[in-house]
Structure formats: structure tokens, C-alpha cells
Amino acid sequence: MSTDTKDTPSVSPEDVELAETFKNEANEYFKKQSYNAAIELYTKAIEQNPNVPVYYSNRSFAYLKTECFGYALNDATKSIELDPTYVKGFYRRADAHMSIGKWKLAQKDYEYVTKVRPNDKDAKLKLNECSKVVKKLAFEKAISVEDKKKFIADTINLDAMTIEDNYSGPQLEDGKVTEQFMKELMQLYKDQGTLHRKFAFKILLDIKKYFMAQPSLVDVTIPDKEKFTVCGDIHGQFYDLMNIFELNGLPSKTNPYLFNGDFVDRGSFSVECIFTLFGYKLLYPDHFYMSRGNHESATMNQMYGFDGEVKFKYNAQMAELFTEVYNWLPLAHCLNKRVLVMHGGLFSRDDVTLDEIRTIERNRQPPDEGPMCELLWSDPQPQDGRAPSKRGVGCQFGPDVTHAFIKLNKLDYIIRSHEVKDSGYEVAHEGRCITVFSAPNYCDTMGNKGAFINLTGESMVPKYIVYDAVPHPDVRPMMYSTNSLMYRLC
């Protein structure tokens, strides 16, 4: 490793030794999947000796594991600045770019890695994946000018799909979802069965039509004495979703739910989760609600498993249809005109109103900036003001931003999801910003609790129900993902 030390601070031998101690200790925490502890120790190593590319590269890897893609990108870039030939720095930077959908930049860095290390199979795999996506995006851009693109939904012929004699799973009744169908569907999924493709396509076509008629901001009225449940990220953890229904009751007209985005990806039972949720949305359209998350997008689905899972369990046509459906998911819900619920968070501007959210043209892939992006990607921070996002997309917003927003829009507080919390939830910004995360032991590694929120229409005071993960079949998370982040520590 050739490190140019002309402009680097001088460091004593004692600092060098102490930094290595911190780094080695951090590596042990990383191996135990205690990523936040590892990040703290890598930071201490950097404070003792800021001249070592490895420290930034390793911290970048830990940030990738905690989905702080913006921080990971910064650290990887710093490691390359310290040593322009440092291969792992390019690898980390490529992973960070890939994680936020910057495919061309990722492709360039993977090309460097494969040139220097031609036998690196993982880098070759990711380079091929990036190259495919870059070509696909270029092709789609080229044909978009015709404005005659046919939607996948318009190409599906349900009448041509036959139901085989040996299919014994649930069937729609006169093309409709019923309570009995949903009970049979969930049992089928618990037994690791597959819903027939004809019924799966019918559900997707029907749900697309429903969402197309919805506004970007849905107003929900909760009667005074009625319980209303808000759930956060599920991330393909079907058996934990079943546990929520066990703890809190099945969805019904008297037991309404709102699921706040990130239904899929990461967990390898995403197909089961999304058809269960879509089924209940069709069964109880006025008592079951779904908001779009940042993972309801083509880029995230391609990297984090859902696209591959749909192709494995069904086909590529269905995977494309899901993208069309997700584009029409509502972006936020306002409960009793008092609580705004969105997946990510607030905005880089102070003047965003509920009326502006209602007018967002959402039938598209999430943009890199602006209110739609921030609703899906932003995160709170403890200090006042705003900061660049740790994820590399959206922004971070402080208590003053939250207070100004709820005052402007005459709200009590906001509920958002999007972030793993050890307790399954977190109350921040003097109680005005609540995070709820409903995927316990996220990715089978994080050890966090899951939680959901119960409200009643009269008080709108949140009650938190916390639970542990439940067992699931021996199928690992990210089973169908192309984004393995496998490169070793140093």
C-alpha cells in the first residue's frame, strides 16, 4: 500500500499503536454484527491516526451494514484520497454508489477493482449487474421519447392462464378477495406454498386500479372509541407479520391498520408479505392502508432481493408489474387531521404544506431530491437544523424543523419508520417525531425488537406494543439479492 504522507498529520508511535488496537477491537465487534459499536471504535482509530485508508474503508463497510450509505460513500472516498491505489476503497465506494442507485458511478469503480483483481468473482458479479442496469436504463431512456410505451398491466391475459388440476390452494370467489380467501392464503404461506399465478396477477391488476384512484396524501378518519394500528417496516419478514396479527388481531372493519412502507426486500418472504397486505387492502379498502417506502422502487428491489424473489417464485413479467403498482402507492396519510404518517421524514424546505403533498405527481420512480424523495428517505437528527443525509439521499432534520412543520400544518406530531430501533420504536423531538419499526431482529442479525402503535380516535395518544422475532423456515435474508457486500475487513 502506497500512502502519500506529504499533507497528512504527523502521528506519534503511541498513537499508531493505540489506533491499531481500536481497529482490531472494532473488527471483533463487526464480526459479532455489532456494527454501531464497531463504528465507534473505527472512529477512535481514525482520531488517533487519520492517515490510514483501512480505518475509513472498514468504517465504510460498517456504515453500509447500517444503511448509512452517504457516510459509507464519504469514508470510501477518503480512503481513496489517502491512497489512490487502494482497491478496497474503490470496492466500498462502488457498493455505496450501488446502494443508492448510482449505477454508472458504481460501474466505474467495479471496473477498476476487476482490472486490478481479475480473479475477484464477487466484483465481477457486481460489475455485470451494474452493466446490465446501465444498459437497461439507457434503453428505456431511448424509447421513452416515443411516449407509446405499453404498460405491463395491459399485456396480461388472465383468461389464458389455466388453473392446473393439482392446484389445491385458495381461489378468488368471482374474482374477489374474501375473508376466507385471506385465511387460506396465510395458511398456504405458513406452509411455504405458492398462490397460483392467475390469482396473484388478478390481485396486482385490481390493486393497481385501486391505488390509481387514490390521492398522494390520504386523509383517514378514526372514530373516537376505535383502535387504529400503525406498523412500520416489515421487509419481507412474513412470519413476524403473522405474529403482529396474532398479537393485535387480524385486519377487519373494526380493527384497521396502516402499514407504513418497506413491505419487501431484505427478508426472503417478501412475496408472501406483499400479497397478504394487498389482499387485505382489497378486502377492507376503507380500513386498511399502505404507504410507499423507499424500498417500493425498482432500484431497491433489484439490489435487495424482491426483484429476484418474484422472478424465482413467478416470472419477470410480474416483477415489472410490481413496479407499476408501487408507483401508485400513496406517499402519506393524515390521521384525524392531527397526525401525519410517512415512511421517511420531513423536508429540506420550511414551507411544505399538506396541500402540496396532496398535489405530488407520484406515478414514477422516486426522484433524487424534492418532497417526494424526502417523504421516502429523510431521517430525524437530535440537533436543530438540517444536515446532508447519512444515507446519501433525502436530508436529516432537527427538532426545530419538526416543530415548524407541525405548527404550519396544525398537527400534533408525525409518525415515520425507515430506521431500525433497538426497542422497535423511538420518540424524538420532544415527542413530536415518532419512529416505528416492525421487523424484529432485522435481517436475522440486528437483535432489535419490533413494535407497532395503537391509537384511539379520541385521544390520538400513541401506545407502543413491543415484541421479539419469531422463528421462520431456514431461508436466509437477502437470498435473492445481488448486493451481497461480501468483501472482507482489513
Catalytic residues: 295
What would the DSSP string read from start to end of 213-254? Answer: TS-SEEEE---TT-EEEEE-B-TT-HHHHHHHHHHH---BTT
Give me the count of residues in the chain: 490
* Other Cβ atoms within 10 Å of 252 Cβ, number: 14
3-state secondary structure of 86: coil
Residue 429 CA to chain centroid, in angstroms?
Answer: 23
What gap in Å lies between CA 239 and CA 255, rounded to an integer?
20
Task: Say how far apart CA 93 and CA 74 lie, in whole Å.
Answer: 8
**φ, ψ dihedrals at 148, nearest 5°:** -125, 20
Phi, psi for 463 (deg, rounded to 5): -120, 130
487, 65 in Cβ contact below 8 A?
no
Packing angle, helices 35-48 and 13-31, rounded to 10: 170
* Three-state SS letters, 139-171: HHHHHHCCCCCCCHHHHCCHHHCCCCCCCCCCC
Query: What is the H or E stretch that residue 344 is in?
Result: none
CA 250 to chain centre: 24
For the beta carbon of residue 67, count every other beta carbon within 10 angstroms: 19
- Residues in CB range of 481: below 8 A, 6 or more apart: 303, 304, 305, 308
